[in-house]
Chain A
Amino acid sequence: MTGAWRSPALRAAAVLTLVLSATAFAGAARARPQDPQAALVGVWAPDNRSETLLAAAPLTPEGAKLHAQRLAESKRPDPQFDRTRWCAGAGLPRIMLMPYPFEIRAERGYIAFLFGWYRWYRLVDLSGQEPEYALPTSMGYSTGRWAGRTLEISTVGLDDQTVLDASGLPHSDGMKLTEQVRVLQSGHLEVRFTVDDPAFYTRPWTSVATYHRAPGVTIRDDVCPDRIARGEPAVAGKKP
């Protein structure tokens, strides 16, 4: 042992350096645990509350016409394209964009999303088997696989009665939605949504959404019809 270690100041400085590094390291670990699946788990809230896909959508002429109609309709009191107004399901990807928190759980071959809006949830099957489905549904059929630190979710069987986002972007029931989900170094959750739907879009296109952790938040039971009964909007921030 060298004489330098007999110096209390030096010893304290050494310990302090260790502690500070540990704190920084611990902070980063809390923001992004080493196990990518464990990193996803928890309650998240959207950074952007506009409930829209932010990228410019490469609409076909038919898609552009439909979208324009809906944008015009959304300025009127009763936009009929937007079924969330009467508490019907938002579908995917829209439910991932709504201004409500959601919780991710990971257990036994599934990733589960529990949404803060009207009891909706989704299950992503990690078994590797292709989904078979008899009828399209608003949330479709999601399968997932890990690619490094990114969870890739593929969803098919999405019925065409929903819209991609609050602006009314259309989709057909032939749409394939891919989501690349990962936790960034910053601790934010990033989801890259890729829409592949030749019925309305000239090519597959990607839009990114990010979310922050909401650790003090518990996903509570939300009963949308009770809000409507009170004269409140079905979706927070909208007109009732």
Chain B
Amino acid sequence: MLRRPFATTALATAVLLTFAGAAFAHHSTSEFDYTKTVAVEGVIKEVQWTNPHSYLQILSRGADGAITQWGVEIGAPALNVKLGWRKDSVKIGDKVAMTLSPARDGRNFGTLRVLTLEDGRKLNGIAASFGQNAGQ
């Protein structure tokens, strides 16, 4: 499957796209920095099961006690179903911990790597299988 060296962002994205399927057909996802991983914990505020991308909004309390909101792209419904997600996999009010690859422009926005529910179950996003050196 891995036919090309990770020579440029575009080619690396090309390799990533081979694994990713649905969401990446939609766009090149060069908006996210796959070399970085950010950890966010919080409470689900809202769930959007929609095409072309599904999203979660998380309310996260920082060390200083202030609450920030993160938007997280979690995939596309046809792809999520294949990754084991179901309609009620996450609900408003659920406490979750996530790792995500952040948006390059520094907003509180990213694409999901792995979501861990309170009972320890894990659900993958598209970026779950991407190595740390992807995109360089």
Contacts and interface: CB of A to CB of B under 8 A. Distances in A.
A136 B49 CA distance: 9
Interface of A is mostly: loop
A134 B86 contact: yes
B87 interface: yes
A159 interface: yes
A107 to B, nearest CB: 25
Contacts of B87: 134-136, 173
Contacts of A137: 77
A160 to B, nearest CB: 10
Interface size class of A (residues with CB under 8 A): under 10
A102 B86 CA distance: 32
Interface in B8-65: 49-50
5 contacts: A135-B49, A135-B80, A135-B86, A135-B87, A173-B87
B71 to A, nearest CB: 19
B67 interface: no
A135 B86 CA distance: 6
B81 interface: yes
A37 to B, nearest CB: 31
A35 B27 CA distance: 48
Contacts of B80: 135
Q: Which 5 A-B pairs have the closest CB atoms?
A: A134-B81, A135-B87, A135-B77, A134-B86, A135-B81
A14 B81 CA distance: 69
Contacts of A173: 87
Nearest to B84: A134
Contacts of B81: 134-135
Contacts of B50: 161
Interface string B78-103: 00110001110000000000000000
A159 B88 CA distance: 13
A175 B64 CA distance: 45
A141 to B, nearest CB: 13
Contacts of A136: 87
A116 to B, nearest CB: 22
A161 B50 CA distance: 10
